[in-house]
Structure 1
């Protein structure tokens, strides 16, 4: 009788603090923070054959078999539909399997179960669920296969898996989910790293330098409380970023000015965090909001919705600083306020509720996806 094994890994969600949109270009910095809402991936096996995937976000799982290094559904199941429902999980499993094969291991056979704390009755909060599930799946499946990986190797596998789906994504969500806490992040050239993997194999892509890539921990802001508001309207980061790429704005003087101003803002915010300068950090959050608003005015992406605007204005009214977190268009916004000003924080939450914004009981997660 074959003995069953079970491996469980979880990864935290994330919030962008500053650097959205500019960070999609290799080498541009951003600040992110991991949050204490998690996606948990459980791998159990071996399965009868191939891979079985299920999630608490939907009633339908999928059974898949290996064919030429890819997972394809059994029988009459709709392959495009199945892959769309579990795209990030499938890509993560296939990427780990390619590394396993390069190290002489057989194609894995197991069951994958996904549980999400980054959704509200199936509606996403905008806390990086795609990134978190990719990171958690990479960690769980790699451990199941007996691969010992460093945090950076897990991140690299997760980025390769994500770039196969959408090479425009920066990978900042993956970094926050991997390392946890507050981080400074610079994205590598995703086309280049995919080229490394396709030319030399996944193991070569893990060893080779990734130009532009950098991640490092930052101290949490001293004396400031991070408040998170959910607009109740889900947004598609991929669609918003793709919309920006389709516009003739890229490469113009306006684009260069936005990238330079955002980069300067992020660098100043990093310096403020490192020297525990709360007032300067608040100034840079306000500046980041202004740059996003200018981008929105010039390109018409729809970054600022009425609820996100109300969220920011409510924070300013009580002495805080606020902005959309991520691509905007819905999802969440963040505010930083004096942690000792309990009355201001309570008033902010009341103003948010009156504007249709739900205050979320979320705090930074100090740890990322530890093995």
Structure 2
């Protein structure tokens, strides 16, 4: 039996700009995520189960259906791509049938907490299969496989959440430019792309200051990132300013400069607020920002709901209580460990 824990993710800076190749975001991973268990199958059939999906999925390894529209679409895509990659590279004989159990911790009694469940699922499946079948895939290969599976289903995205969840800890992530790849007639499930260099891609682990804590503020108002991005036109000036701010924020983390962190997060928030439609700043998110005072923090991700966060250099039960009084679920999150390999 194989059991792995898969982190969730939280964007700290560089949202929206990261959807344009060559731009950078800072992303944290949280110990709140998924648990995935894999057992060798007792019968000649594979079965996948989840605490968030009512119906289980039954399939034959090596013969998964070409169907990516149901609740199991992310798991289907990840297994199909990994199986093709393993066979084409002669890493192993055909993967044997298994029983998969996925336990999500990304919901609370009040609803989703917006830490990236679909990304965690594809990364988790790749990671769990890599361990269970002793495939010894490099961390970059695992990132690419999970990325292509996610792209095949979702059709867009920066892949920053995939990178963060694969590498753990906190990363500075620069998005790849697929338009610079040699022309290939492919769907995203074509595993040839895995072995190619991805232009502009950069994933840099950051050492997080020991005395800085991240306080998540969850509004439990679900946001559709795909829709939000599709209705937003980003100017060259916005992209340039975002890149400058994020690079400065990387230095504040390296130099442990909390005062500058506060200023630059506020700059990033102002840039986003001025660029995006009024619906980006929901009433709850506006309250979350208004109550920060001189504490570093901002909205995380797409806005239009979901999360904000604060970074504390000292314990602040006052802010926790204030957020909770306005219906914002406040909790200190633990950063997941960085991974190697």
SS at match of 1:99: helix
Cα displacement string for residues 117-176 of structure 1 (whole angstroms, at most 9, x for unaligned residues): 111259321111111111110111233334111111111111111111124211111111
Count residues in correspondence: 339
Q: 2:33 touches 2:115 (CA, 8 Å); kept in 1?
A: no
Determine the structure 2 residue equivalent to 1:324. Answer: 299
Residues 43-192 of structure 1: pairs in structure 2 closer than 5 A? 43-46=38-41, 48-65=43-60, 70-71=64-65, 83-104=69-90, 105-106=93-94, 108-121=96-109, 123-190=111-178
Q: Partners in 2 of 1:34 and 1:356 — Cα distance?
A: 24
Q: 1:163 touches 1:194 (CA, 8 Å); kept in 2?
A: no
- What's the CA shift for 1:262? 0.8
Q: TM-score, normalised by structure 1?
A: 0.84
Unaligned 5+ runs, structure 2:
none
Structure with greater helix share of residues: 1
Q: Partners in 2 of 1:265 and 1:227 — Cα distance?
A: 21
Q: 2:110 touches 2:220 (CA, 8 Å); kept in 1?
A: no
Q: 1:88 touches 1:134 (CA, 8 Å); kept in 2?
A: yes
SS at match of 1:361: strand
Q: Partners in 2 of 1:134 and 1:242 — Cα distance?
A: 23
CA separation of 1:57 and 1:224: change in aligned 2, threshold 3 A? same
Stretch deviating more after TM superposition (189-198 or 111-120): 189-198
Q: 2:49 touches 2:57 (CA, 8 Å); kept in 1?
A: yes
CA separation of 1:139 and 1:192: change in aligned 2, threshold 3 A? farther
SS at match of 1:348: helix
Determine the structure 1 residue equivalent to 2:289. Answer: 312
CA separation of 1:210 and 1:106: change in aligned 2, threshold 3 A? same
Determine the structure 2 residue equivalent to 1:239. Answer: 227
Q: Partners in 2 of 1:169 and 1:121 — Cα distance?
A: 28
Determine the structure 2 residue equivalent to 1:76. Answer: none
Q: TM-score, normalised by structure 2?
A: 0.91
Unaligned 5+ runs, structure 1:
1-5, 73-78
